[in-house]
Amino acid sequence: MLSLIKLPRVFTVHQVPKAFQEDSIISGYRHPRSSATDCVLSLFQLTNETLNVWTHFLPTWYFLWKLLTVVCMQDVWHDAYTWPLLVFLLSCCVYPLASSCAHTFSTMSTRARHICFFFDYGALSFYSLGSAMTYSAYIMPDAWVNSLFHTYYVPIAVFNTVICTTMACYSRLGLPFLHYNHDITERFPESQKPKLGKVLRISAFTYPYLFDNIPLFYRIFLCVGEGCTANEANSLHVYHTLLAFLTGFLFATHLPERLAPGRFDYIGHSHQLFHVCGVIGTHFQMKAIEMDMSLRRSWLQAHGPAVTFGSTLGATMVCIVLTLGVIFLFSRPLFRSPVLGKGSNPGKKSCRH
């Protein structure tokens, strides 16, 4: 059937605008003004984005199955203890789905590329919040339960989610309210200072991860003696931690393609490996959370703070509203830019047919 459909042509790095070029990736680029149909069709041909999409789209269904299993098999409507797990599993569905959609449709235009990845950044920040809620409810070491840090842990995580989404969006376009009458696609920091933009983006993802994992790092690496919560889940937490650091390393270094530009354009470049390691790490994280949730339930319900609507589902809704507001704030100038306004066609001349 696919043989009867004309698949979109792919291009080299010199045939697409700078905004669409990836470090050390030479070939396999899609047209920067692709239609939505072309974007979907490109998923069934080999481009430098194909595996980026599938390595996150397929795991979305696995995490959705896990979410539905919890909803159907546990009394989630009356058992508040399960609510942090629900938020976490929802975030595990949202972040790979947002990523796969961003990679699929990011070549429709420069405007679409920015907006797609704004949603991707927001989804990753939401995943960070989901992790923080389960860590507060199930992972916090015994010695820290009901401490001042524990009390303010989730509110700070909500604040971090909004700030880090803002920082990641800023890394692409700078301050949105300064650019209503300019070509914002050529503004600081993505185009003029790509290295600084990269540093800001890495910081936006690293900071919430490090904050969320403070209680976990203390529990598995530093704590000695009573109150350290040593159980079978700790080994799974170690696996997740190692994969998380490997994920960050791949994202920051662009290895292996930086060592051999053009050799890993289609299969094996860092973003694909980054996706795979991230998803496997999330799987181990989920298993560790479920084990801690089960093993520590009696003790936590007797000694820990009560799980409330405000600290879980309520905080999640506030976070989602604020994150969507940040995305709207950064997206709005893209629709008012004279370069990307009606009738513009950036990148068309850059691709030679």
pLDDT tens digit sequence for 287-344? 999 999 999 999 999 999 999 999 999 999 999 999 999 999 999 988 876 544 443 3
Of the ranges 170-174, 192-196, 206-210, which is most confident? 206-210
Alpha-carbon dihedral of residues 234, 240, 244, 245, nearest 10 degrees?
50
pLDDT digits (tens, 9 = 90+) for 55-76: 999 999 999 999 999 999 988 9
pLDDT grade, residue 13 (50/70/90)? very high
Q: How far is CA 328 from CA 111, 169, 177, in A?
A: 13, 11, 12
C-alpha distances (whole Å) from 193 to each of 118, 231, 271 are 19, 47, 21
Query: In the prediction, which pLDDT does 198 show?
Result: 84
Q: What is the pLDDT of residue 286?
A: 98
Residue 3: band (very low, low, confident or very high) from pLDDT cuts 50, 70, 90: low
Largest Cα span, the chain: 69
Tokens linked to 204:
């936006």
Assigned token pair, 292: 């801690």
Kindly state the tokens that stand for 41. 């069709």
The string of pLDDT tens digits covering residues 134-146 is: 999 999 999 999 9
At 27, is the secondary structure helix, strand, or coil? strand
**345 — pLDDT class (breaks 50, 70, 90):** very low
CB 46 within 8 A of CB 266: yes
Spatial CA neighbour of 287 closest among 238, 229, 247, 218: 238
Question: Collapsing DSSP states into helix, strand and coil, what is residue 104?
Answer: helix
Tally the residues of the chain.
353
Question: What pLDDT is recorded for position 342?
Answer: 40
In this prediction the pTM is 0.91
For residue 11, give the DSSP letter: E
Which CATH fold topology does 11-350 show? Answer: Rhopdopsin 7-helix transmembrane proteins (1.20.1070)
Q: Are 174 and 197 in contact (CB under 8 A)?
A: no
pLDDT greater than 70 at residue 244: yes
Cis amide bond preceding 189, omega within 30: yes
**Residue 238 reports pLDDT greater than 60:** yes
Tell me which H or E stretch contains 28.
Answer: strand 27-29
248 contacts 201 by C-beta, under 8 angstroms: no
Domain spans in the chain, listed from the N-terminal domain onward: 11-350
- The string of pLDDT tens digits covering residues 65-110 is 999 999 999 889 899 999 999 999 999 999 999 999 999 999 999 9
